[in-house]
Amino acid sequence: MDTPKNTSSTLLERIRTHRLTTTFTLLATLSVGILAGSILTRNVSGKEQSEVNSTDAKPLVIPSPVALSNGFSQIVKQVGPAVVNINTEELPKPSSNKRKRGGQRLPQPSDPNGDDDSQQSPGDMQDFFNRFFGGGQGGDDSDGGAAGERRALGSGFIVDPRGYIITNNHVVDKADKIYVKLSTDPDGGPGDEGRAATVIGVDKDTDIAVIKIDTKEPLPTVKLGNSDGAQVGDWVLAIGSPFALSKTVTAGIISAKNRSIDEPSPNGVSQTQFQRFIQTDAAINPGNSGGPLVDMAGQVVGMNTAIYTQSMGSQGVGFAMPANIIASVYNMLIGPEHKVVRGSIGIQFQVAQSSAVNRVYGFSSGVIVGVVTPNGGAAKAGIQAGDVIVSIDGRNIKDGDDLVNDISARHVGSTVKLGYLRDGKQNTANVVIGDRAKTYADITGQPDDTSTPQETDAGEGKLGITVSAIPASLSAKVGIKGGVIVTNVRPGSFADEIGLGKGTIITAINRKPVTDETSYRAIVSTLKSKDDVVFVIQSPIQKNLNSYVGGTLP
């Protein structure tokens, strides 16, 4: 009975022994193959390396810098030092139902969402003039609180070595603080905004502003060219700070001239009557606004102002205000009144009409009067709606632009001889030129925004406070006969920063007594940027207890 068991055990042991022998044989064979392959590969590799000869290879050499033939770099070196970066701050203000214009929001320069009073289709002009920078997103404060601080970026160029700079009005519009960085100023970091600037004057009709920075040394300036000489197809360079990238240069050509985009207000009065742009395909983006458009002679022929886009980026359609218009406006803004005064005869007309209209009314060139403003020069001279104005002082006029350009350049109070057709008959009338701003205010029913600000707001812009007379009960309590009481303090303003609070009683400013609101306004009107300002504050709870609060105006 034991024999089969022993036979079975012997068979299993033989099988196991055979398997082990086979396994060891295979492993030995593989090891020999791997070792032989490694030796052969090493020998072949070594043989290939030893046979490579690179003695004929020449080292790479960096060539000396060469000046290219297009001349762009020379123009940039010439104009670049006079191009500046402008950043502004709009401090928090009490909430209102109106949305406020904003600049390029930081640090989200590519945000395409505009913040405007009107709803526009994607193809509308993205900058007339609230949308060019992307609008202050989040600026509308619907919960009744104060809106947050707004920051915006733009560009500008120096035209006078004493620090006078030209930029767009919408770059500095409503800004409480304006800072300028020269091309030679270090980039710096937070808290290093640049040099404080003040507004000399603005012209909303052309979206032009003049600002100034203080300087001890003469600054580099641009050369202004004659934009009438610029031709379609000419090369131009756009220089500025798109998306906060300062000293950026783009190139293109002049695509068109005398480009206008008429945007009539609800009352039918054109809001862009004096805007005749140079169109260019040089890349213009948010932040370029206010920078120069330069020709191949290194002269500024325009100021980059607006873009036409559906994506808030450049699509090859940019607009620049011509240099000739800039020069005319600048010369008026630096004058004693710091504002632009344009002539008007007090009429409205249709900008363009069919040639059939010309044939029916019997004229080849001229302007059909649509509306005559009551009490305007034309009304007083007997001009009526339906009359066709065909000449000015004996010179035939081409169209409405020709008429406006001639009349607006004339002095207010001067007289012009108009030739006009009525029922096909030739007539003349002597018309007295009026102030266009006042005429426009009569048409729209709105106050002239070029007039001097109301005296009650004298301290709002400079100090950030509003004041009123001290109530009789409080005056008797503290035992003073004069002074004013602070009724409101704008957050982030000069007054807020130095600690003036609502309810503060001011009795003197810079050692000059404040007896009432009139004396307060008179003192404040003399204050300017960089002045030291010290207030004498009367305690509202204890008689004859004065304190002194002061600071330096930004």
237, HSE (Cβ side, Cα atoms, 13 Å): 24
Residue in this structure with the two tokens 């109106």, named with its chain if needed: 98
**312: its two tokens:** 């808030």
Which stretches within 257-342 are classed as H helix?
323-333
Residue 433 burial by Cβ neighbours in a 10 Å radius (0-12, 13-18, 19+): buried
Annotated catalytic, 127? no
Query: Beta-carbon neighbour count of residue 543 at 10 Å?
Result: 10
**CB 208 within 8 Å of CB 303:** yes
To which residue do tokens 């109530």 refer?
471
Return the structure tokens found at 261.
């985009």
Q: Is the separation of the CB atoms in 244 and 250 below 8 Å?
A: no
In angstroms, rounded to a whole number, what is the distance separating the alpha carbons of residues 419 and 393? 8
Question: How are beta strands 164-168 and 208-213 bridged, if at all?
Answer: antiparallel
Active-site position among 127, 155, 170, 344: 170
546 burial level (CB within 10 Å; 0-12, 13-18, 19+): exposed
Concerning whether 314 is annotated as a catalytic residue, the answer is no
End-to-end CA distance of the chain: 118
| Residue 209: partners with Cβ closer than 8 Å, 6 or more residues away | 166, 167, 168, 169, 171, 172, 173, 199, 201, 202, 203, 333
> From CA 404, how far away is CA 117, in angstroms rounded?
29
CA distance 38 to 34: 6
Rg (CA), the chain: 38
Element of type H or E holding 474: helix 472-478
Angle at 189 between CA 186 and CA 195, to 5 degrees: 55
Beta-sheet pairing, 465-469 with 277-280: unpaired
Whether the link from the prior residue into 129 is cis, omega within 30° of 0, is yes
Instruction: Name the catalytic one among 255, 289, 344, 493.
Output: 289
- The residue annotated as part of the active site, out of 115, 124, 173, 207, is 207
Tell me, yes or no, if 338 is annotated catalytic. no
Strand, helix or coil for residue 363? coil
- Pairwise CA distance, residues 313 & 109, whole Å: 11
How far apart are the C-alpha atoms of 358 and 272, rounded to whole Å?
25
CA 458 to chain centre: 26
The kind and range of the H/E element at 29 are helix 3-51
Cα 201 from Cα 335, distance rounded (Å): 9
Phi, psi (rounded to 5 degrees) for 398: -85, -50
Q: How far apart are CA 383 and CA 431, in angstroms?
A: 9
Catalytic positions, written as ranges:
170, 207, 289
